[in-house]
Structure 1
Amino acid sequence: MKRITKSIASTTAALLCLAGCAGANKAAQPAPAPLAQAATEVKDAVQLVNGVAITRAEIERATRVLLSQSGAPQQLPPDAMQKASQAALDQLTMAELLYQEAAKIEIKDLDQQVEKKIAESKALYPNPDAFEEALKGSGLTVAEMTRNARKSIMINTFIEKRFASKVEVTDAEAQKFYQENQEKYFTRPENARASHILVKVDDKLTAEQKQQAKEKAEALLKRVKGGEDFAAVAKTESGCPSATVGGDLGTFGRGQMVPPFEKAVFAMKPGEISSVVESQFGFHIIKLVEKHEAGKVSYEEAKTKIFEYLKAERVRKEVTSFVDELKSKAKITRV
């Protein structure tokens, strides 16, 4: 089932993510900039799309995004890296053409949508300094991130209005897909979903410091066993990045977590809170949210994902065809 979920994400996420990678050097505009202006003002331009520059920095950033999404290492042999960069440029060109079309339609409450998206991004970090540090690491300023968010929202809205809102999938089509792909998509290995609170330790700590960390974990265990909200305690006390989402680790199967953690999780019942579990990362307090035995996923369980997948595939094909048409009419030049 995870495979079909991944497929759904990959049909739409890459383009919208790359839409945010482009345009960092230019403010959002109601129409593309003139050719002469783009050529003279953007010094590291690699390609012009109807006069709007795609820069080397944007291509490098987009390449990192593509490699990350595909699970590939960030450092590849030269020929493979060249192919990845070309794929990124192709996606950026696609995004720019869609953005130019999106700029022609009115989008209500666009500023508010942008503000909401930025606020959601900031909320993923424990404090403003952590957000600024992450932004700095990505090579973006707040202003650039805001412009990128605007562009992404505009493209997303355009795709929804022009294509997605008109695509329909019938129950018969969904059932046919389910029957033809049961072995490929609709088998489920044993898996669990859990949250945890982590008191971190490392090799540099003394024996006394490790004991203090364990005692802190025991104290936190008493709090959650005593009725305090697990997610709230995780948000304020956990040393894991998952603290921002209340300690939620999502769904995982066997072999994906360190052995002590896995052993504890798969021995628990949903709703249970473990005793303190020690691993190389520190001391964990685990709450099992749900657990599923290996088996087939029923049609009713899979139905929503199937509809999403079939719709996303149709939208992707229509958008690709539309962009091909735009390319045939566009002026695209390498600099």
Structure 2
Amino acid sequence: MLHRLATAAFVAAALPVLAIAQDQTEAPAASTETAAPVDPATVLAKVGDTEITLGHLVAARSGLPEQFAQMPASVLFDGLLDQIVNQELLKQAYTGEEPDSVKVTIDNSRRSLMAAASLAEYLEANVTEEAVQKAYNDAYGDGYEPEMEYHASHVLVETEEEASDIIAQYEDGAEFAKLARDNSTGPSAPNGGDLGWMTAGMTVEPFDMAMQALEPGEISGPVQSNFGWHVIKMNETREQAPAFEDVQAELRAKVQEDVTMAYIDVLNESGNVDKSGAEGIDPAVLDSMTPQE
């Protein structure tokens, strides 16, 4: 019952934002008056002794559904302020003790927000440009050892005899791509056997070793793998490491993940964590219990 009432109150309090968003499709004209300087602590309204600040509006906007949060601030401002005022009025009108469901929800929200702030502060200090550059060097070398890439095609058949026949036809002048389209049982057959660009280790070992031994323009002898018999043609090779700028965001995310996990491990070791209270608890209680209980 409490949950239903709380939901109804929230929806009612949110109506100003929804109404303004629906009724006003264009932002009001900007005021020509010089705006007074403001900051998040600027008080916009009071409900009794409770102050509603600009910071409250900024936080409320960040929690809106995406289709509303992206609307112009001039459209949302009054609706957000009314919403927070209405919520404060409803809060002050409540005469009972603070429900346990509210307490645990506030605890979880505060914990989540403070954890995010704590981690952001730690990452800012520990995920440096030097750390990202080191991750690039570890993955791709120091810029002077680019990785070899291979552009190969192949014909896949069932027997060694068929593979030898493909080689003979190629040596007699047949086009390799046509031989692949007409004979190969592999998924690359419609593309003339073209496998695209690969690096060492991306294919099964017998194929991989035979491919790496070829020079551009050469074809292999019959090569057996667990898929069958291959005839491989090396189209071209290149030495290439991705530019640092092209992988910087990906590497930064990986460094952040590694730093985060290491930091959490340290905190767990030094944080006096005791999970013994969870021993013997049936996880199914999560399905049967609500925060109101």
What TM bracket, shorter-length normalisation? 0.3 to 0.5
Q: Which of the pair has the greater relative contact order for Cα pairs under 8 Å at 6+ separation?
A: 1
Q: Structure 2 length normalisation: TM-score?
A: 0.34
| TM-score for both structures, normalised by structure 1 | 0.30
